[in-house]
Amino acid sequence: MASFRLRSRRIQVMPVGADDYSPFAPEIANDEHCSIVFDGVLYDLEAGADASATVLRRYGRSGADVLKSLRGIFFLTIWDEQNDCLLCARDPLGIYPFFYAVTDDLLLASPFIDALVADPRVPKETNRAALADRLLHRWANEPQETYFSAIRRLLPGHALLFGHSGVRVYRYWHATLPGEEVDWTTEEELERFPDLLAQAVDRCLSFGRAAVYLSGGLDSVAVTAVAADRSRLRSLPPPCTLSIVDLDHGGEERSVQVGVASQLGLPQTLVTASEVSGDGGLLPAALEICRTWALPVVNYWTPVHLRLGRRAAKDGCSVALTGDGGDEWLSAAPIYAADLLRKLDLVGLLKLWRDLQRSRGTTTASSLREVLWRSGARPVFRGVAHSAAPGLLAAYRKHGVLRVIPEWVAPDPLLRRELEERSIRSLGRPAKRDFLIDTRQQLLDRTSTSLDKEEAFERGRVLGLRVLKPFWDVDLVELLYRTPSDLLSRGGRSKRVAREMLERRFPGLGFERQRKFNYSSFVEPLLREEGRRAWRDMAGASALAELGIVDAQGARKAVEDALAQASPGQSAYRIWDILSLEAWLRSRNLGGG
């Protein structure tokens, strides 16, 4: 890829190559003043137009404001020789990754973190605090960081300006304008949902024949149905459907998967976890991926997704679609209870409680506790306390974040102090206007959101096809971001807009009463069964311990307690957290073992 040199600081700027890391080639455009590297796709291109040349032309007219007009998914760098600066950007929702490293005289940027890791000019020091936060599931702490101290991520919808005054990172895209009243979506506007979902799927189909990961839930079924319709309308081959089934526990889900594919006339591939992993098991197969990928994977179902994706690529598919994002954007959010309580809308609170209970299948007591306290009164009281006694609230919240760090995490005093400081910084200020909007903004910026997109991008790179999420389309998100929860679940029906669409399309498959499938009933036993052998083979968390991230004996007890389910609510996911990070560190010689 291109290399640039800024006059102002004698800094070399080098976008690091897709050539050796990606099956998808970036585009480069130049004129007498600028050079652009564009990796991705623009949605509003004229037929036959070149994306990089289009961005170059628009930049010449509007400068950095060009970013606000770009609709698409992309990694972008613009070297402006005339103004002696580099402008970088990641697409609004972060479908494309953007990693960068800054040294004394160099800025390196790439969508591929392993390209930066492999560069001898980039320090390889591990970011211990980020790894410890992963163990604690603290996804809001320092989301711009990666597991390497020298490498950072550009957050979705953000730009980086590099020039004579240094590096400045700022948000260029807003789902709603900050400081202004929210223009809430109305019932009439929400009728645009089917058209926007069709548009989102169309954008994915521009890459060619599609495969769809069909789980049987409302979100993936909606994507599958729309992909089938749009493929037929555009005279494309019918999408392939890819399904994971569990023969012992997933009977209801399997009937939906098979029924949807059959009614749509789509080819279907069904696999079980045991078919993918063979005698070794799913967990060891996922750990092997952690040893070979640039970052430790979050989703231990990745081996199954890869197996299905390889089948799709073999059948001639160029893109794989998922229903990811439906839970985030179509579901009523419990935090809406705080907005209702602040308005003293008791009828709305009652409706929200009923909706959440029906859609989640929780007990009356737990759903009432969620609505009335955790997502209702507590955030409201916190806002009042911040106005009346900010110091007292800060002390209380500080005590809360510190006491939940287990003793076996961060035995190194320096690391523990750093974790405490990061946690306190992440607390932020209580919502000034709408709790729902603040929560949705936090969702966009969370580390887990970026990790999920980056992992999907990596799967696509391995498979040689693009893994895309229509529910994370920018136009669809801008509509749903502003939609109040009572519209999303009007009439006591969670994900109402998708559910009504599917009821009409698939009468008899029970979408009018379907609740979200609960995988924990068979995932947790699987983790415990396979984790026992994997933990024995791992023989402890030596790499994590050598870095001071865990106390070896304490980590051993935490895993053994999770394996034995020694206390109520003891999560089996603790097993995966420790095993995956340990396997990744050992493979890169970043610790003991």
Q: Where are the domains of the chain?
A: 4-171, 180-388+433-518, 520-587
pLDDT at position 523 over 80? no
Gyration radius from the chain CA atoms? 24
Determine the average pLDDT of the residues in 568-586.
86
- 570 falls in which pLDDT band (50, 70, 90)? low
Output phi, psi for 321, to 5 deg: -105, 150
- Looking at per-residue pLDDT, the higher value among 212 and 277 belongs to 212
Triad 377, 380, 386: Cα angle to 5°: 135
CB atoms within 10 A of CB 181: 9
pLDDT at position 563 over 70? yes
Integer CA distances (angstroms), 574 to 531, 555, 557, in order:
10, 10, 11
Output phi, psi for 77, to 5 deg: -130, 135
Which pLDDT does position 73 carry in this prediction? 96
Minimal CA–CA distance to 172: which of 72, 89, 109, 54? 89
What gap in Å lies between CA 124 and CA 591, rounded to an integer?
12
Mind listing the pLDDT tens digit for each residue in 437-487? 999 999 999 999 999 999 999 999 999 999 999 999 999 999 999 999 999
What gap in Å lies between CA 569 and CA 216, rounded to an integer?
27
- 161 falls in which pLDDT band (50, 70, 90)? very high
What gap in Å lies between CA 291 and CA 297, rounded to an integer?
10
What gap in Å lies between CA 158 and CA 455, rounded to an integer?
19
pLDDT at position 384 over 70? yes
Where does residue 570 rank: exposed (0-12), middle (13-18), buried (19+ CB within 10 A)? middle
Q: Are 75 and 64 in contact (CB under 8 A)?
A: no
Which pLDDT does position 432 carry in this prediction? 65
pLDDT at position 518 over 80? no
pLDDT at position 8 over 90? no
Which pLDDT does position 370 carry in this prediction? 92
- Looking at per-residue pLDDT, the higher value among 216 and 240 belongs to 240
pLDDT at position 493 over 90? no
| Exposure letters 44-81 (e unless 16+ CB within 10 A, then b) | eeeeeebbbbbbbebbeeeebebbeebbbbbbbbbbbb
pLDDT at position 210 over 50? yes
Which pLDDT does position 593 carry in this prediction? 43
Tokens representing residue 550 in the block: 């865990």
pLDDT at position 233 over 60? yes
pLDDT at position 12 over 70? no
Share of the chain above pLDDT 90, in %: 63
For strand 466-468 and strand 319-321, is the pairing parallel, antiparallel, or unpaired? parallel
Q: Are 95 and 458 in contact (CB under 8 A)?
A: no
- 17 falls in which pLDDT band (50, 70, 90)? low
CB atoms within 10 A of CB 554: 16
pLDDT at position 510 over 90? no
Share of the chain above pLDDT 70, in %: 89
Tokens representing residue 248 in the block: 């012992």
What gap in Å lies between CA 522 and CA 73, rounded to an integer?
36
Which pLDDT does position 529 carry in this prediction? 87
pLDDT at position 110 over 60? yes
Is the domain covering 180-388+433-518 a CATH 1.10.150.130 domain? no
> Average model confidence (pLDDT) for the chain?
88
Output phi, psi for 161, to 5 deg: -110, 120
Which pLDDT does position 23 carry in this prediction? 64
pLDDT at position 553 over 50? yes
Contacts 24+ apart (CB under 8 A), 418-422: 418/128, 418/129, 419/129, 419/132, 419/133, 419/136, 422/129, 422/133, 422/138, 422/141, 422/142
Determine the average pLDDT of the residues in 421-429.
78
pLDDT at position 311 over 90? yes
What gap in Å lies between CA 135 and CA 577, rounded to an integer?
6
Tokens representing residue 195 in the block: 């058209």
pLDDT at position 547 over 90? yes
| Exposure letters 206-219 (e unless 16+ CB within 10 A, then b) | ebebbbbbbbbbbb
Minimal CA–CA distance to 125: which of 494, 571, 590? 590
What gap in Å lies between CA 477 and CA 475, rounded to an integer?
5
Which pLDDT does position 16 carry in this prediction? 65
- Element housing 313 (H / E): helix 302-314
pLDDT at position 360 over 80? no
pLDDT at position 592 over 50? no
Determine the average pLDDT of the residues in 376-402.
76
CB atoms within 10 A of CB 195: 11
Which pLDDT does position 362 carry in this prediction? 72
| Exposure letters 391-408 (e unless 16+ CB within 10 A, then b) | eebeeebeeebeeebeeb
Which pLDDT does position 355 carry in this prediction? 82
319-321 β-sheet, strand order: 268-271, 240-244, 210-213, 319-321, 466-468
Integer CA distances (angstroms), 519 to 471, 499, 524, 569, in order:
21, 20, 8, 16
Determine the average pLDDT of the residues in 492-509.
89
Determine the average pLDDT of the residues in 247-258.
72
Minimal CA–CA distance to 107: which of 39, 16, 40? 16
- 316 falls in which pLDDT band (50, 70, 90)? very high
Is the domain covering 4-171 a CATH 3.60.20.10 domain? yes
What gap in Å lies between CA 38 and CA 58, rounded to an integer?
13
Which pLDDT does position 183 carry in this prediction? 94
Spatial neighbors of 402 by CB under 8 A, at least 6 apart, are 420, 423
Minimum mean pLDDT among 255-269, 270-284, 541-555: which range?
270-284
- Give strand pairing partners of 5: 12
Determine the average pLDDT of the residues in 140-151.
94
CB atoms within 10 A of CB 251: 10
Which pLDDT does position 365 carry in this prediction? 84
Which pLDDT does position 424 carry in this prediction? 80
- Looking at per-residue pLDDT, the higher value among 274 and 491 belongs to 491
Minimum mean pLDDT among 99-113, 124-138, 355-369: which range?
355-369
What gap in Å lies between CA 328 and CA 440, rounded to an integer?
8
Secondary structure, 3-state, 166-212: EEEEEECCCCCCCCCCCCCCCHHHHCCHHHHHHHHHHHHHCCCCEEE
Helix, strand or coil, per DSSP, at residue 588: coil
Triad 80, 83, 89: Cα angle to 5°: 45
Tokens 């020298």 sit on residue: 150
